[in-house]
Every structure is written in C-alpha cells, then in structure tokens.
Structure 1
C-alpha cells in the first residue's frame, strides 16, 4: 500500500556517479590490477565501462535480481573486457574478475559530491518527496547508501533498489512502482541521473521529467531529449529550488 497521493513534487536521484564520484573506485582498481599510470584515460574508460554495464544489463532483463548472481558476475567481467578493448587493452576473464573485486572493495570508501546532501535537505524542507532509485543488488546498493549516510537523510520508503523491487532501470515499471509507493504523480516527478540509457530514457519513458546530470560532459546516445541538463549541484539547486 503506497502513501496517499499528494500534489507535492517527487524528486528522485540516481546513486552511482550522481550522488558520488563513481570513477574513483574504478581508477584505483585499474591501477591495482593493471598498473595504469597518471596519463591513462580513466574517465573515457569509465564512460565505456558504464555504457557496457547498462547495455549488458538491459539485454539480460533482471541481472540485479536475487538468484541472478552468476549472470551478474558474468556481466561485470564482460563490461570490463569490452570497455578496455576499445582502448587497445586485452584482459583475461581472470584479470577482469580481479578488477571487479578491487572495484567492489573500494566502492564503500565514498562521500557525496559537494552540495548533494545539502540539496536533498533543502528539497525536503521545501515539502517535496525526495528519494533514490538505483540499479543493483539490494544489499550492495544499500551498503553504498549507508556509506554516504543517505539512509539517515531519506526515509526507507523513498529508497528503491532495483534488485529488491524486481525491475531494473530503464524499465518503466520501476518508476511506476515508485509512484505507487510514494503517492506521487508521474507528471510531477523529476529524476536526476548520469546514465543516458537508464536515467534519461527511463524517466522519459515513464512520463517523468528527466534531468541529465552530465557532469562528465559526454555526448547523448540517442535522439531522446531530457527536459533539463545540469553539470553540477549548483546548477541542480538552481533548477530544483527555483
């Protein structure tokens, strides 16, 4: 049973590379396993890493669901191999698995982007329904949310992890579940995220307003048109608190 529907705006954030720097743990993992140096194109590799993560997850359909751990691990190995291959680096399955292991280990040494926690508090104080929608296994994503101290800032009923819900972004059913559970209306909901496939297309297909958090200044992948684009939390605050 969801909350009583209100006229408040629903403002929901992605987690990975939207609320914190998701590149940092990958950079450290590549340095540890492959010995990459300062001049390595980490940001470009990260962008392709995320691209293949989203693409392979979408082709599976429910890679983050309970019981799909083997498929999830295979996806993680393949995304590293495919992304690095674009930069002329061939890695074995074993090396890709070690990159993933180091990447996971470092994902909990994180802190929010400057201004993120403050914006969430300001939006809540303004009376909006504020929450999180993130893809990933439930336990893993909740551990990151706790590492960011966002479990204390956002009610548990406003936190949606795809592995627990049963649908992965960009599936519109995930966004519909959020509306149902929080009593919000799609026409008054905003979604902020960095992933073109999962966040922009997902929000648009669900009838939400999409705010593309393009802080890495990458190019769109399709002809979809997010209603807004922001590159910093200052810009997000100007949009959402206006």
Structure 2
C-alpha cells in the first residue's frame, strides 16, 4: 500500500465564487455600464492582489495591517483603471469595504462538499491552504462550513502560519503538520502565481482550477492538470 494521499484546496475562487462579492461591491458603488466585463476585471484584480502582496512581503502578518489596506486599495484602482474607470483612494476604500462585507454570504461551489466527503471516505487527508489574515480567512472558512467539513486541524491560513503562498515552505509546513509527504500531496487552486507555482516548487501535484479560462502565465511552470469544474476534478481525483 502506498503513502496516504493528501488533497488540499485553495479557498477563494476555488471552493466558492470569489467574483460575486466584488461584482456586488462594484454595482453598488460605481454602477458600471451595461456589458461591463466583470470576469476580466476580477482576473486583473487578482493579478494585482498577488503582485502587490509579493512586493510588500508578509502582507498578511498582523503587524503589517497598514500595508494590507494599502495593497487592497491599490489593486482596485489598478484593475479598474485598465477598463477606463478611475477611482481615488477614498472610493477604492469604500469598494474594498463593501467587497469584504459581501465575502461572508458565500456557499461552496456545487459538487465541492460531495467531493471532499468522497475523498475523506477514500482515506485521503483533506484540507485547505489559504492566503490572508487569520481572522478574515477563518470567517470565510466558517461561513462555508469548512471548519466542520475538514476540521480546524486541516485548515492552514498564511497569516497564522507566518508564510504566504507561493512560498514552498508553507506547503512543507502543511506536510509536517499532517504527517504527509510532498510526493503524495495534491493542491487545487485557481491562482497561477500562488497555487500552481507554490505547489510545484514544493514538489506537490499541482491542479490548476482554471474555471475562468484565463491564459497561463509565461513562467516556465506546467501544472499536472488543468481543470475547469468539479465534475472534471472528481474524475481526476477519484477516477470517474
């Protein structure tokens, strides 16, 4: 019998629709025109979030709250500017506040809960690894019922651990904490920079959950699987 498999999921836009709270915030505060490309804006929003977080370094550490707020407002300004909408810092802060408020009225993607339970029944170690401040991400974990579904001992938040994805040390920390091995560990996530690169550099099997059908980044990395939904994911993980 081989090593026990570990299957860990990202949270934002992997286990639930992370676009919806942003869409609601934008609708409320800037009233975008008809045909506004929400998905494209969201993609650039996530791009700038990853870019600015990496530039700041350890932005999710509680000691760096000022840097976190600065990053959050800048990502909104930069993303919207690409689509011809200029907002000042005060407007960006209001959009960010509305966006945060909407992040706790969330539910798992269809098929996610069932897949997690099937993986557990198979005997896999199943959990989540997510970037963000501890309290904020734990509120999402509870809103999604993940605290009960996978157990708090299998929830790893970068702001609590002290390392952010894509740092491979975070994945190694998870292996040590769960007594699993990199070669038997899988990570499913939507972010190329944080999830694909982080998992690959830690020696994990990388599944890029590309349900928004974006182009891969030219980084020289190649995920083991590129999937667009939970039906495909179930087939890969469970063989049918």
Corresponding position of 1:9 = 5
Shift in Å at residue 32 of structure 1? 0.7
Corresponding position of 1:21 = 17
Q: Which structure would you say has the larger RCO, counting Cα contacts within 8 Å and 6 or more residues apart? A: 1
Shift in Å at residue 37 of structure 1? 4.0
Corresponding position of 1:93 = 89
Q: How far does the alpha carbon of each residue in 1:76-102 deviate from its partner, in whole angstroms, 9 at most, with x for none?
A: 010001111111111100010011000
State TM-score, norm by structure 2.
0.97
Alignment of 1:153-164 (within 5 A): 153-164=149-160
> Aligned partners of 2:3, 2:56: CA distance in 1, in Å?
36
Corresponding position of 1:198 = 194
Question: Which SS does the other structure have where 2:206 is aligned?
Answer: strand
Shift in Å at residue 117 of structure 1? 0.5
- Contact 1:169/1:198, CA 8 A, preserved across alignment: yes
- Contact 1:131/1:159, CA 8 A, preserved across alignment: yes
> Aligned partners of 1:43, 1:216: CA distance in 2, in Å?
8
Corresponding position of 2:206 = 210
Q: How far does the alpha carbon of each residue in 1:174-195 deviate from its partner, in whole angstroms, 9 at most, with x for none?
A: 0010000000100110000000
State TM-score, norm by structure 1.
0.96
Corresponding position of 2:231 = 234
> Aligned partners of 2:191, 2:63: CA distance in 1, in Å?
25
- List 4+ stretches of structure 1 deviating above 2 A: none
> Aligned partners of 2:217, 2:94: CA distance in 1, in Å?
29
Count of residue pairs the alignment pairs up: 237
1:225 aligns with 2:222: yes
- CA RMSD, 1 decimal: 0.9
Q: Which runs of 5+ in 1 are unaligned?
A: 1-5
> Aligned partners of 2:34, 2:111: CA distance in 1, in Å?
28
